[in-house]
Amino acid sequence: MKPRVATVWLGGCSGCHMSLLDMDERLIALAGRMDLVHGPLLDVKEFPDAVDVTLVEGAVANEEHLIQIRKVRARTKVLVAFGDCAVSGNVTALRNVLGNADGVLTRVYGDRAPGGRVVFDELVPKLLDRVLPVHQVVDVDLFLPGCPPSADLIHFVLSELLDGRSPDLAGRLRFG
């Protein structure tokens, strides 16, 4: 049976998933070695059981993300924080300087929201007061930094994991 691989998109810009697509023809070779079972490229609503590897893009920024990442963790063997927003909060966490969710909403909408308030319901999840990197909510098995991580780095990590090895990122990360 091929390894079951998933991706998840939390509070991020989708740039990490775009970098994944930048693997170009290497994706075809990887696709033959795994079953892709969840992600924004698939029409699968519920995160499945028994996933071997999940790449998580983005930070935890609202209540829906909290529920989702806990479910993902419970159903995944190797959880990868995929990109700097997942690793550290990065761009998504910039709004933390505004104090809390009310501070963000006031800064963005002022009194222009209906009735002077932003209405949250099942379609508009409530913002958390602080944006959190993934490891502050659940255990992370591997940190894959970069904004976004390069296609070469993503390819290396996925190839190693599919071969049953733990990727050694020493010497492969470039800063600046």
Binding residues for ligand SF4 (CB under 6 A): 12-13, 15-16, 57-58, 83-85, 90-91, 147-148
| Residue 106 C-beta: closest distance to ligand SF4, Å | 24
Give whichever of 85 and 104 is closer to ligand SF4, judged by the CB atom: 85
Give whichever of 23 and 147 is closer to ligand SF4, judged by the CB atom: 147
Give whichever of 5 and 85 is closer to ligand SF4, judged by the CB atom: 85
What DSSP state is assigned to residue 48? P
**Cis peptide before 167, with omega less than 30 degrees from 0?**
no
- Looking up tokens 């009194």, which residue turns up? 111
| Residue 163 C-beta: closest distance to ligand SF4, Å | 25
Give whichever of 3 and 133 is closer to ligand SF4, judged by the CB atom: 133
Q: Are 80 and 134 in contact (CB under 8 A)?
A: no
How many Å apart are CA 9 and CA 3, to the nearest integer? Answer: 20
| Residue 130 C-beta: closest distance to ligand SF4, Å | 17
Tell me, letter by letter, the H, E, C secondary structure of 110-174. CCCCHHHCCCCECCECCEEEEEECHHHCCCCCEEECCCCCCHHHHHHHHHHHHCCCCCCCCCCCC
Give whichever of 120 and 143 is closer to ligand SF4, judged by the CB atom: 143
| Residue 114 C-beta: closest distance to ligand SF4, Å | 30
Closest by CA position to 132, among listed 101, 158, 154: 101
| Residue 19 C-beta: closest distance to ligand SF4, Å | 7
